Amino acid sequence: MNQNNLIKWDLDLIRRYDLSGPRYTSYPTAIQFDPELSAQDMVNTGQQTADQASPLSLYVHIPFCAHVCYYCACNKVITRNRKKAQPYLDTVYKEMEQLSKWYSDDRIVEQLHWGGGTPTFISNEQMIELMQKLRDNFNLLDDDSGDYSIEIDPREVDNEALKVLREIGFNRISFGVQDVELKVQEAVNRIQPVEQVAAVLAESRRLGFRSINMDLIYGLPHQTLESFNKTLDTIIGLDPDRLSVFNYAHMPDRFRSQKHINADDLPSPETKLAILETTIRKLMDAGYVYIGMDHFAKPDDELALAQQNGKLHRNFQGYTTHSDCDLVAMGVSAISQIGDVYYQNEHDMALYTAAVEDRADAIKRGVTLTRDDRIRRAVINQLICHFELNMGRIEQAQDINFREYFAAELAELEHFTEDGLIELTPGSIKVTPAGRLLIRRICMAFDAYIPKQQATRSFSRII
């Protein structure tokens, strides 16, 4: 089947429906997290509602970066003082011990991810120590069968560090490229020669990392359709297993580093749409599967296979194959998902450290899911991962009459049917090739928390 038949580019529909909206890495989304909820109550609910027989996913946030990338909206600490890392890691270890007491219960850790910031900011010895502490506190696999990944900066990692990462158990690696054009790199303060990227990629493959992901960003200053085409050709030539192609959202009032980017240098909305259309076409022509939103994978990649088999899931780290895992996250600003609870740690480093020192956890805000939340989460997850939904399966799993429960939502979906975004049958919802690019907007129809007919400033634009 020609993959390009799975996506239909309809500029009129895109312009009409390209509002702001959630990325649905969770439902309810983080905007519903309440700082007034009791941390102890959330932990208790998480323990009571978690499936103790299911595996765990662990996340460690390492916020340090030696250099600031002007586009970045992550929670980070810019410093060249490597001595700042150890006191932070010591705090994480204290939090880790508490989390282990709450949630470990000898549950197998199927998935592990270190993000940031730049996790490879810490030394090789510190990486070895951090992984050992995780093994001391949680039941990590030692046969290389887990999904153990780390984000790296090709400018910050050498062959010895890559060797250490592989030896301590990582088998997946992800790194940012963003754009290969020097003019763009200079404008965002991330100069990264292609040769450097290629060398890290080659060494990672030689060491046996089984999956390599690269991140690109469209909408950066000085990007043109022609220049981004060159970037795509270069990246396709490097042949990564997965690609994430993110939309740059220019919000300098929220993210201070973005003030360094001159808005006049950004591509126009029309150019951004043209770049996105070309990106999707080129990557699918090169053999990548369009997983959804910003993500692409080779046909034999686990993400593509999971989607094909109806097993794909979405959590705070994006698309994942581990739908049955509770997510235990540690570090500043990290978000956990345990049973029927989501909660986030303190966002400020000093507050995070003080909270862990004071009470061994740093929980700041969260949400406890209601039955309605769980039902809507199941619907949204099904649509955003698989572009179709079987009402009967939702009815069976959630003990509802779908058409009665979602009568108002189905009435709204009639408009989407008329516009060709979905096909609605008595027992199913199928997203059309024209609707796939607007899947976030379709999911918004089932979101009980946000206004449906207007944009909301709390979220980035859909495209």
What CATH number is associated with residue 400? 1.10.10.920
| Confidence at residue 388, expressed as pLDDT on a 0 to 100 scale | 94
Considering the domain boundaries, does residue 364 fall inside one?
no
Q: Examine the domain organization and report whether 231 and 182 are in the same domain.
A: yes
Q: Examine the domain organization and report whether 311 and 449 are in the same domain.
A: no
241-269 burial: b if 16+ Cβ within 10 Å, else e: bbbbbbbbbbeeeebebbeebeeeebbee
Given 330, 347, 379, the domain boundary residue is 330
What CATH number has the domain bearing residue 323?
A: 3.80.30.20
Q: Examine the domain organization and report whether 124 and 249 are in the same domain.
A: yes
Distance CA 224, CA 192 (A): 19
**Regions of the chain where pLDDT drops below 70:** 1-5, 19-20, 451-463
| Confidence at residue 190, expressed as pLDDT on a 0 to 100 scale | 96
Considering the domain boundaries, does residue 380 fall inside one?
yes
Considering the domain boundaries, does residue 144 fall inside one?
yes
Whether the CB-CB separation of 119 and 63 falls below 8 Å is answered with: no
Q: Examine the domain organization and report whether 237 and 155 are in the same domain.
A: yes
Domain count, the chain: 2
Considering the domain boundaries, does residue 288 fall inside one?
yes
Q: Examine the domain organization and report whether 142 and 269 are in the same domain.
A: yes
| Confidence at residue 139, expressed as pLDDT on a 0 to 100 scale | 98
Distance CA 386, CA 235 (A): 26
Considering the domain boundaries, does residue 184 fall inside one?
yes
Q: Examine the domain organization and report whether 175 and 312 are in the same domain.
A: yes
Considering the domain boundaries, does residue 324 fall inside one?
yes
Q: Examine the domain organization and report whether 270 and 416 are in the same domain.
A: no
Q: Examine the domain organization and report whether 310 and 384 are in the same domain.
A: no
Work out the mean pLDDT of the chain and round it to a whole number.
Answer: 92
With vertex at residue 317, the alpha carbon angle to CA 379 and CA 158, rounded to the nearest 5 degrees, is 160
Considering the domain boundaries, does residue 360 fall inside one?
no
Distance CA 128, CA 171 (A): 15
Given 330, 356, 382, the domain boundary residue is 330
pTM above 0.85, yes or no: yes
Q: Are strands 318-320 and 172-178 parallel, antiparallel or unpaired?
A: unpaired
Q: Examine the domain organization and report whether 176 and 319 are in the same domain.
A: yes
| Confidence at residue 459, expressed as pLDDT on a 0 to 100 scale | 56
DSSP string, 157-220: --HHHHHHHHHTT--EEEEEEE---HHHHHHTT----HHHHHHHHHHHHHHT-SEEEEEEEES-
Given 297, 312, 330, the domain boundary residue is 330
Residues 287-317: pLDDT tens digits?
Answer: 999 998 789 999 999 999 988 888 888 877 7
Question: In which domain, by residue range, is 375 found?
Answer: 371-463
Considering the domain boundaries, does residue 365 fall inside one?
no
Distance CA 347, CA 426 (A): 46
Residues 142-165: pLDDT tens digits?
Answer: 999 999 999 999 998 999 999 999
Query: What is the identity of the amino acid at 361?
Result: D
Q: Examine the domain organization and report whether 179 and 251 are in the same domain.
A: yes
Task: Give the residue from 24, 30, 12 showing the smallest Cα distance to 293.
Answer: 24
Q: Examine the domain organization and report whether 325 and 391 are in the same domain.
A: no
Q: Examine the domain organization and report whether 121 and 207 are in the same domain.
A: yes
| Confidence at residue 453, expressed as pLDDT on a 0 to 100 scale | 46
